[in-house]
Chains A and B, each alone.
Chain A
Amino acid sequence: MSEISLVNVSKLYKNGFYAVKDCNVTIHDHEFFMIIGPSGCGKSTTLRMIAGLEKISSGELYIDGELSNMLEPQERNLAMVFQNYALYPHMTVFDNIAFSLKVRKLPKEEIERQVMSVADMLGISALLHRKPTALSGGQRQRVAIGSAIVRNARAFLMDEPLSNLDAKLRAEMRVELSRLHKKLNATMIYVTHDQVEAMTLADRIMVMKDGIVQQVAAPMELYRHPINQFVAGFIGSPEMNFIPVKSREDASGFSLIGKNLKVEADETIESAVHGDSHNETLQGNYAQKDLILGVRPEDFIPVSSYQAADFLFEPAVVENLGNDYLLHGYMVSAADPFGISRKKEKMIVISMKRNDTISDHDRIPMQIVTEHMQLFDPESGRNLLYPGTPADPETLATERRQA
Chain B
Amino acid sequence: MNHSSSRISRIRNVFSATEPYLYLVPSILIFSIFLFWPFFKTIYLSFYKTNKLGQAKLFVGIGNYKELFQSSAFINSLYVTLVFVIIVVSISMLLGLIGAILCNKTFPGIRFFSTAYALPMAIASSSAAMIFRIMLHPSIGIVNKLLHLNINWLADPRYALVLVAILTGWLNSGIDFLYFSAGLASIDETIYERASVDGAGPVRQFVHLTLPGLSPILFYTIVVNIIQAFQSFGQVKILTQGGPGDATNLIVYSIYRDAFFNYRFGSAAAESVILFVIIMCLTLLMF
Contacts and interface: CB of A to CB of B under 8 A. Distances in A.
A90 B212 contact: yes
B198 A51 contact: no
A52 B212 contact: no
Contacts of B201: 74
A187 to B, nearest CB: 15
Contact of B200 (A82, A89, A90, A99): A99
Q: What are the 6 A-B residue pairs with the smallest beta carbon separation, nearest first?
A: A100-B198, A86-B194, A86-B190, A73-B196, A90-B212, A103-B199
Given A90-B212, A103-B204, A84 B190 contact: yes
A79 interface: yes
A183 interface: no
B190 A74 contact: no
Interface in A216-239: none
B191 interface: yes
B213 interface: yes
Contacts of A62: none
B197 A99 contact: no
- B188, B198, B200, B209 — which one has the most chain A CB atoms within 10 A of its CB? B198
A50 B199 CA distance: 15
Task: Report the interface size class on chain A.
Answer: 20 to 34
Contacts of A78: 197
Contact of A74 (B200, B209, B215): B200
A53 interface: yes
Contacts, number: 61
A21 B209 CA distance: 35
Contact of B197 (A51, A89, A91, A104): A51
12 contacts: A51-B193, A52-B196, A52-B197, A53-B196, A73-B197, A74-B199, A76-B197, A78-B197, A89-B213, A90-B213, A99-B195, A104-B199
A120 interface: no
B198 A82 contact: no
Contacts of A88: 191, 194-195, 208-209
A153 B213 CA distance: 27
Given A74-B201, A76-B197, A103-B199, 15 more contacts: A52-B196, A52-B197, A53-B193, A53-B197, A73-B197, A79-B197, A80-B194, A82-B193, A86-B188, A86-B193, A87-B191, A89-B191, A90-B212, A99-B208, A103-B200
Interface in A109-158: 147, 157
A280 interface: no
A157 B204 CA distance: 23
A66 interface: no
What is the interface of chain B mostly: helix, strand, loop, or mixed? helix
B14 to A, nearest CB: 44
Contacts of A77: 199
Contacts of A74: 196-197, 199-201
Interface string B199-218: 11100100011001101000
Nearest to A48: B193
B197 A80 contact: yes
Contacts of B196: 52-53, 72-74
Interface string B174-197: 000000000000001011011111
Contacts of B198: 79, 99-100, 103, 147
Contacts of B197: 51-53, 73-74, 76, 78-80, 157
Nearest to B198: A100
A90 B212 CA distance: 7
Nearest to A81: B194
Most B C-beta atoms less than 10 A away, residue of A76, A103, A147: A103
B107 to A, nearest CB: 13
Nearest to A76: B197
Contacts of B188: 84, 86, 89
